[in-house]
Chains A and B, each alone.
Chain A
Amino acid sequence: MNAMTPTLAPVQRIRHVVKGVVIEGDGPEYGRDPNRFVTPPLDVGALVWPRPAPSPAADVPVDEIIDILVETGEVLKRDRSGLLAQAMERSVEAGFYPRDLVERSFAHLGHMFSRPAMEFMIAQEIGGKDLLDGWREVTTPSGRPARVRAFPCRLLHVIAGNSPGVAANTVIRGALTKGVHLLKLPSNELFSAPAILAALAEAAPGHPLTRCFSAAYWRGGDEAVEGLLFRPQYFDKIIAWGGESTIRGALKYVGPGLELVAFDPKTSISLIGREIFESEATLEAAAVAGAHDATIMNQEACTASRFQFVEGALDQVDRYCERLQAHLGAGGRSASAEPRPIPRALRDEIDGLRDMADFYRVWGGYEGRGLVVRSDEAVDFYPEGKVVNVVAVDRLADAARHVTVATQTVGVHPPERKSGLRDILASAGAQRIVSLGSATPEVGLPHDGFYPLHRFVRWVNDEG
Chain B
Amino acid sequence: MSTRSELVDGAVHEDVFDRPWPDIEARQLEAARELFVERRDQIPVLRRRADDSGVTEIRTLDDLVPLLFAHTAYKSYPPSFVAQGRWDRLLQWMQTLSVAKVTDVDVEGVTDVDDWMERLRAAGHMVLATSGSGGKVSFLNHTREDAEKKRRHYRRMSGWPFVKADNSRVVFLTSPSRGPNSAIEAAQNSAAVWARPGEAHFLTDEPLRLADISASAALNQRMAEGTATPAEIEAAQAEARARGERMSAAMDVFVDKILAHRHEPIVVSALWAQHMSIIERARARGIPDGGFHPDSLVSAGGGLKGVALPADYREQVDRFYGKVIRNNAYGMTEMAQTCPKCQCGRYHRPPGLIWLLLDRDGERRLTADDGVDGVVEGRFAFLDLLYEGRWGGLISGDKVTIDFKDCPCGRPGPTILDTISRYAQAGESDHIGCAGTIDAYIRGAVAA
Residues of chain A touching chain B, judged by Cβ–Cβ distance below 8 Å, are: 1-5, 31-32, 96, 158-162, 166, 186-188, 219-221, 241-248, 263-267, 300-302, 304, 341, 343-345, 347-349, 351-356, 358-359, 375, 377, 380, 382, 384, 401-402, 404-406, 428-429
**CA gap between A241 and B425 in the complex, in Å:** 21
Chain B residues whose C-beta falls within 8 Å of the C-beta of A404 in the assembled complex: 224-226, 438, 441
Contact with A along B96-110 (1 / 0, CB 8 A): 110000000000000
List 30 contacting pairs A-B, 8 Å CB cutoff, sorted by A: A2-B372, A3-B371, A3-B378, A5-B372, A160-B434, A186-B431, A188-B431, A188-B433, A220-B430, A244-B439, A246-B432, A265-B435, A265-B436, A266-B435, A266-B436, A300-B435, A301-B435, A302-B433, A302-B436, A341-B361, A345-B72, A349-B76, A355-B44, A355-B45, A356-B96, A358-B92, A377-B78, A380-B79, A401-B225, A406-B441
Residue in contact with B432 in the complex, picked from A160, A353, A428, A429, CB distance below 8 Å: A160
- Among B20-47, those with CB < 8 Å from A are 44-45
CB of B432 within 8 A of CB of A188, answer yes
Across the interface, A243 reaches (CB within 8 A) one of B359, B377, B433, namely B433
- Return A407 CB to nearest CB of chain B, in Å: 8
By Cβ-Cβ distance, the 3 closest A-B pairs, closest first, are A265-B436, A352-B76, A348-B70
In the complex, chain A residues whose CB is within 8 Å of the CB of B80: 377
Extra 20 A-B pairs, beta carbons < 8 Å, given A186-B430, A406-B438: A4-B371, A4-B372, A186-B431, A188-B431, A244-B436, A246-B432, A267-B436, A267-B438, A300-B435, A352-B72, A352-B75, A355-B45, A355-B48, A355-B73, A355-B97, A356-B77, A356-B78, A375-B78, A401-B225, A406-B441
B429 proximal to A (CB < 8 A): yes
Q: Chain B residues near A242 (CB, 8 Å)?
A: 432-436
- Which residues in A have their C-beta under 8 angstroms from that of B377? 3-4
Given the known inter-chain contacts A4-B371, A187-B430, A188-B432, please indicate yes or no for A348 contacting B71, CB distance below 8 A: yes
How far is A345 from B92 in the complex, measured between Cα atoms in Å? 24
Contact A353 B433 (CB under 8 A): no
Give min CB distance, B27 to chain A, whole Å. Answer: 27
| Interface residues in chain B, defined as those with a beta carbon under 8 Å from any beta carbon in chain A | 44-45, 48, 69-80, 89, 92-93, 96-97, 134, 136, 224-226, 359, 361-362, 366, 370-372, 375-378, 424-427, 429-441
The residue from A2, A5, A265, A384 contacting B434, defined by CB atoms under 8 A apart? A265
Q: Contacts of B70 on A, CB cut-off 8 Å?
A: 347-348, 351-352
Query: In whole angstroms, how far apart are the Cα atoms of A375 and B73 in the complex?
Result: 17
* Contact present for B430 and A265 (CB under 8 Å): no
Residues of B with C-beta under 8 A to A159: 432
Choice from B74, B96, B97, B437 contacting A265 with Cβ under 8 Å: B437
Q: Are A302 and B76 in contact (CB under 8 A)?
A: no
Please, how many angstroms separate the alpha-carbon atoms of A348 and B224 in the complex?
Answer: 25
- Residues from chain B with Cβ under 8 Å of A375 in the complex: 78
Is the Cβ of A302 less than 8 Å from the Cβ of B71?
A: no
Q: Which of B76, B79, B225 contacts A356 (CB 8 A)?
A: B76
Q: Given that A247-B440, A300-B435, A382-B437 are known contacts, is A429 also in contact with B226, CB under 8 Å in the complex?
A: yes
Contacts of A301 in B (CB 8 A): 433-435
A162 contacts which of B45, B425, B433 (Cβ < 8 Å)? B433
Complex CA gap A57/B32 in Å reads 73
Determine if B72 and A349 form an interchain contact, defined as CB atoms under 8 angstroms apart. yes
Q: Nearest residue in B to A247 (C-beta to C-beta)?
A: B440
Nearest chain A CB to B77's CB is how many angstroms away? 8
Chain B contacts for A161, CB-based, 8 A? 431-433
A264 with B436: CB separation less than 8 A: yes
With a cutoff of 8 Å between Cβ atoms, the chain A residues found around residue B76 in the complex are: 349, 351-353, 355-356
Point out the residue from B75, B366, B425 that lies within 8 Å of A345, measured CB to CB: B425
Question: CB-CB < 8 A to A359: which residues of B?
Answer: 78, 89
* Beta-carbon contact of A2 and B430 below 8 Å: no
Residues of A within 8 A of B371 (CB): 2-4
By beta carbon, the residue of chain B nearest A385 is B426
Is A300 a contact of B433 with CB atoms below 8 Å? yes
Interface contact A351-B73, CB-CB below 8 Å:
yes
**What are the residues of chain A within 8 A of B89 when measuring CB–CB?**
359
Chain A residues in 8 Å Cβ range of B438: 267, 404-406
**Do residues B431 and A267 form an inter-chain contact, with CB atoms below 8 A?**
no
User: Could you tell me the distance between the alpha carbons of A243 and B441 in the complex, rounded to whole angstroms?
Assistant: 11
Chain A nearest CB from B426 CB (Å) reads: 6
Q: Are B72 and A265 in contact (CB-based, < 8 A)?
A: no
- Give the docked Cα–Cα distance between A186 and B70 (Å): 32
Pick from B79, B226, B434: contact of A302, CB under 8 Å: B434
Chain A residues near B224 (CB-CB < 8 A): 404
Shortest beta-carbon distance from A355 to chain B in Å: 4
